[in-house]
Amino acid sequence: MSNDPTAPLLFFDSGIGGLSVLNEVRRALPNAPLVYAADYAGLPYGTKSEAEIMARVPALLGRLVERYRPRLVTIACNTACTIALSHVRAALDVPVVGTVPAIKPAAESTRTGVIGLLGTAATIRQSYVDRLQMAHAPGMNLLRHAAPELVHAAEAKLRAEAVDPRVYTDAMRGLTNHPDGDHLDVTVLGCTHFPLVQEELSIAAPNMRFVDGAAGIARRICHLTDGQSWPNEPTDGVFVTTGPVAELESLRPALATFGLTQIKAL
């Protein structure tokens, strides 16, 4: 339990995807000090091996916790969580909140019993996803498609760069082309980058419902920090990168809209 009001919430992702989670938390806890760490030197995670992610993520988070002394860490990256969450929890002495594909809410809202999962190649092949399906969507059909191009599309969108709309139609076609794909009515955005382009995906698939885990994570963080002290007003958030700071200049305006006005190197 942190009694220091200035102790931040730390968010971690391979890039800017976790901003979709941070945004929900800012709505719920507007005065919470925020540190957002992006492992740009390691992006993309979806093409890395399990062993690489297992070695990389706990080591980076150890350094970040030492530097920023957060009250709580959120791994706002489905790939990192499905592979390394238990290792991170074992390595850190602060509470760690993870991100898992929102299969449970999708199963609760589907009318047809056919659910889609868009994620990275690393996420959709994890046995963790099989266990989520068995626990929350038994007897339902879970269609999976790896859409790494949506990670790049989300990054480009926040840099105000043009993105070919075919990226979005191709991603949805990757699900609907499955047998039973014509019955698909709910799609899980199983990568935190993807809610940042949900508007574009909705144009590509106008009758589709999309679900992600951000609201659930925000509720969990509120529960874990209940009764703790916060500053009396919002403070400037910090964006930390493992890559060159100069490469983030084009992101600066977008980051400011999430309250992240300081950009630093790890």
Return the amino acid letter for 26. Answer: R
Active site residue 191: yes
Tell me the residue length of the chain. 266
Q: How far is CA 51 from CA 16, 37, 90, 206, in A?
A: 23, 21, 17, 39
- Alpha-carbon span 178 to 167, nearest angstrom: 18
DSSP assignment letter at 8 = P
> Catalytic pick from 37, 77, 103, 118?
77
Secondary structure class of 184 (helix, strand, coil): coil
Q: In the structure encoding, which two tokens stand for residue 234, read together? A: 């919002």
What is the number of alpha carbons within 13 Å of residue 261 lying toward its C-beta?
5
> Catalytic pick from 19, 191, 196, 255?
191
Q: In the structure encoding, which two tokens stand for residue 60, read together? A: 């980076």
Cα 46-44-127 angle, rounded to 5 deg: 15
- Nearest Cα neighbor of 96 from 113, 105, 108, 84 is 84
Active site residue 222: no
For residue 229, count other CB atoms closer than 10 A to its CB.
Answer: 15
- Calculate the dihedral angle through the C-alpha atoms of 82, 59, 96, 10, rounding to the nearest 10 degrees: -110
Cβ partners under 8 Å of residue 127, min gap 6: none
- Alpha-carbon span 132 to 8, nearest angstrom: 31
Hey, which residues are catalytic here? 77, 191
